[in-house]
Structures are given as C-alpha cells and as structure tokens.
Amino acid sequence: MSSFLQIAKNRALVVLMLGHFSNDMLAGVLPILFPVMKLQFGLSNAQVGLVTLAFTAASSLTQPVFGYFSDTYRRRWFIPMALLWGSACAALLGFVDTYVAFISLAALAGIGSGAFHPLGASNAAGVSVDEHRNISMSWFTVAGGIGYGLGPIVGSLLLAAFGRHGTVWLLLPGTVVAILIWTQMPIVERARAARAALARAAHAAPRWRLLARVVLVTMLRSWVFLSVLQLSPIWYAELGFDRSFYGPLAAAIILSGAIGTLIGGGFADRIGQRRVVVSSLILTIPALLLYVAFPGPQGLLLGALFGLVCDASLSVTLVMAQRLVPGRVGIASGVVLGLGFVTGGVGVPITGAIADRFGIQLALASLSVLLAAAALLALTIPSDREIARGSRAEPVPARPDAPAASGAGR
C-alpha cells in the first residue's frame, strides 16, 4: 500500500502512465477498422494481415533507434510529439480512400507507437523512486495493457456513433495527455540528468552480453504467452466450445497476466529481480501443463493461473535490462520492448506448425521446454546486488515539487 501511495503522489509517473494508456489504446483501435476497410477496398484476409504486419514491424523494429535518441539527446518534446504523431495517424485512418494509403498510415502510426515505448519507459524509470522501481514499472506496463484492451471498445463506440470518420476523435485523448506530459517534462529531465551524471561518475560499463540474455529470456517468455493466448481460442473451438466461452478465456489470461505483472513487480522490490524471474518461469511450467492437460470449463481458472505466473516477470525483465546498461536506459527499454516482447511473437507460427502436425494440445505442452530453457538462462544473470556493485548510478529522483534544473530538456 505504501508503494502504491508513493506512485500515486508521483505526478510525473502518473501522467507517463496515462501516456502509455493512450498510446496503446490507439493501437487497440486498429483491428476494429479491419472489417470496414475490408469491405470498402475489397481486401483479402492476407491483405488485412499485411496491415497488421506493417504496424507491428514499424513499431517493434524502430524502438531501439528511438531508445538511442532518448539516451543521446533527451529532448523535452520527444515523448509528447510521439504521442501526438501516433494519435494524428490513428485519427486519419478513417479518412483514407485507398488500400495503399491505409497500410502506409498504419505503418506511420506504428512508428509513433514504437517511439513512445522506449521514451516512456526510460522516462518512467527516471522519475521512479529506486526502492519501488519494479512496482512502478509494473504499473506503467499495466497501464498500456489496459489501454490496449479498451481500444477495441473505444473504436467500436466511435464507429457506431460517427461511422469510420469517427476516428478523428482519437486526437482528443492524445492531445490532452501530450499536454499533461509536457508540463511534467522539466521534472523528468532533471531526474534523468541526475541519474546519467552519477552513471558517468561511477564509470559503470554497460554489460551488453548480459542484456542479450535478458532479451532472450523475454523473447522465450513472450513466445510461450502469445502462443497460449492465440491458439487457445482455436483449440477450444475445435473442442466444440463457442465464442461465449473462449472469448472470456482469452480475457481471463490477459487480465490475470496484468495482476501477475503487478505482483511480480512488488516481489522484485522485496526479494530481488532474478528470484522473481526464475521463480515465475519455473512456476509457469506446471501451470501450463495443468491448463493443457485438463481442457474444459475449468480452463477459465487454469488459464487465469497460467497468465498470473507467466506475466509476473513481464516488467521485471525491463527494469533488469535498464540496470544492466546504466546511462543507456532508452536503448535497453527499446531493445526489450521492441525485440523482446514484440518479436517473441515470431515463435507463434512455429508453435502453430507443430500444432498442425501433432495437435494443439501437444504443441502447447511442448512450450514447457522453452520455459525450462528460459529459467536456466535467467539463472546466469547476476543478482540485484551483483548488478548494483557494477552500476551504482541509482540516485533517488528529485521530489516532484522540486524546481527544475536550468537548461533541462533543451
């Protein structure tokens, strides 16, 4: 409770969470436009899939680049502009009159979304009090997940009320939150500058090889989670269940994952990041096998259990990566969020191919091998104490009501 109150009092962190919520809500609106655009332009399912690919590729592959710019230049207007860019592109999606314009605008919207994530994550880490950084980043992560989950609802309401031109209203939340973030950027820049200065004074060298291990662990975990999430509706449809069951099943996995993210972040602040990551991966193995072994109505409970333990390490690996490369928080955030979380989905088609040959049940069960490999790899990552000895650049950021340093956020 005390950590939650600390987060709630941190205005800069709260508005960055609002930014993550708004940014990911815009991404959640895109799929709702697909039926309308498919009918209008006479698109095939493959062409619709290319729109998703354009958005996802533009978002994930650009994140390390924007992370580099965040570390190198730290301009105050970067993150508000990224949010404005993404909301403007999303607002225009309902006005395009050709398929080429639609897919191009989706890619441009993906760039805006990709820009926000490393910028937002590095700034959120900068203003977080160090002893609560894991739980702070958990709340930041969950805010985006909630926004993404509400995106289809917002999109459906706008289309129902105004038709496809209703997307213009997506400018409103993006603009309002961008202005709120702008008002807090002096505090953000002062906190980040203090951390960067101490990192330089400590002469802490980035440990890129260890970062690569964290990214690989993240990718394996993401592969497992996304495979279960995307194949479960197909599996239960084959078992004879209808949409009224496997829709809530997918929601249960996602929502319990959000709860697990918060729990994992809280425990990481108390018992250490490596312990949480390893424990989460190990506990996910029996949770996954139980879910696979006992399909049926109990799948709601077992799926929720799987989501809870699997996503417990979601934000912890992000903070772990940030601490491994002091002074390069933006790059660490971009690599983990872009190449770790998102490209973990590359493994889903592989799981799908196994399912085509041996059945979905066996394919999902085989994912336990990936969890075991990820747990063993996580054991080779240094503990929090060992990481701290190599990078003592973790000052507690200035109070939100403290005056901003002159010249911050050029």
Distance (Å, rounded) from C-alpha 243 to C-alpha 7? 38
Q: How far apart are CA 120 and CA 34, in angstroms?
A: 28
d(CA 136, CA 182): 20
Residue 120 is predicted with a pLDDT of 86
pLDDT tens by residue, the chain, 410 residues: 556 666 777 888 899 999 999 998 888 888 888 888 888 888 777 788 788 778 888 888 888 888 887 777 767 788 899 999 999 999 999 999 999 999 999 999 999 988 898 888 888 887 877 677 788 888 888 898 888 888 888 888 898 899 889 999 999 999 999 999 998 888 877 776 766 666 555 556 667 788 889 999 999 998 999 889 878 888 998 899 887 888 788 888 888 988 999 899 989 988 989 999 999 999 999 999 999 999 999 999 999 999 999 999 988 998 888 888 877 778 888 888 877 767 666 788 888 889 989 999 999 999 999 999 999 999 998 877 766 665 544 444 444 444 433 343 33
For residue 387, the model assigns a pLDDT of 65
Helices (H), 93-163: 99-127, 133-162
What gap in Å lies between CA 295 and CA 276, rounded to an integer?
28
pLDDT computed for residue 170 by the predictor: 93
d(CA 285, CA 296): 19
- Tokens encoding 116: 């926000």
Alpha carbon distance, N-terminus to C-terminus of the chain: 37
**Residue 105 is which amino acid?**
L
What does the pLDDT read at residue 220? Answer: 94
Centroid of chain to Cα 138: 10
Tell me the CA distances in angstroms from 211 to 132, 271, 315, 318, 399, one per residue in order. Answer: 22, 21, 15, 10, 30
